Structure 1
C-alpha cells in the first residue's frame, strides 16, 4: 500500500465521523454503543500515529494530521518521496 491508498482508506474514518456528528444518528438508542466503539477503535489508531510524522498540522481531523511511524516498503518509499520523512521499515 502506498500513501494514496492509505489516505483513501482514511475516507472510511471520515464517513464514521459524519455519521457520528449527524443529529438524527445521535438520537438513536444505539448511538451510545456506536460512539463508545468508535472511541475505542480511535484510541488504538492514535497509538499508531503518536510517533509518526506530522504531515498536515492544520488539518482538523486528527487521523489525517500524521502518518504511522512504520510501514512496509511501498509505504515507506512513498512517504520519503512525498514528504521527505523516513519511517521505520517493517516486514
Structure 2
C-alpha cells in the first residue's frame, strides 16, 4: 500500500508532469489499480487514509502483513 502512495506522489509531482512518458506511466498505474481494487473490494474497511488504496485491507496477505493487520486493526485475514 505504501508503494501505491509513492506512485501517486510521482504522478502528482510538478516536475514529472512535464515528462512525456507520464501518460504511459499513468496508464500502467491504472491497469494495476484495477487489479488491486478488485482485491481490496473483498477486504475490510478501515478509517482514514488519503487514497482509496489506504481505506481497505485485503482479505488475504502474507504472514507478516496478516500479523500487522491483526495487531493494528484486530482483523484476522487469510495467510497465503
For normalisation by structure 2, the TM-score amounts to 0.78
- Where structure 1 has 5 or more consecutive residues not aligned to the other structure, the ranges are 1-9
Out of 40, 50, 56, the residue aligned to residue 66 of structure 1 is 56
Q: How many corresponding residue pairs?
A: 80
CA RMSD in angstroms comes to 1.9
The structure whose residues are more often strand, as a share, is 2
Q: Deviation at 1:72? A: 4.0
Q: Deviation at 1:77? A: 4.0
Q: What SS is found at the alignment partner of 2:45?
A: coil
Between the aligned partners of 1:54 and 1:64, the Cα distance in structure 2 is: 9
User: Relative CO higher for 1 or 2, CA cutoff 8 Å, sep ≥ 6?
Assistant: 1
> Residues 26 and 72 (structure 1 numbering): CA distance in 2 closer, same or farther, change over 3 Å?
closer
Q: What SS is found at the alignment partner of 1:23?
A: coil
- Where structure 2 has 5 or more consecutive residues not aligned to the other structure, the ranges are none
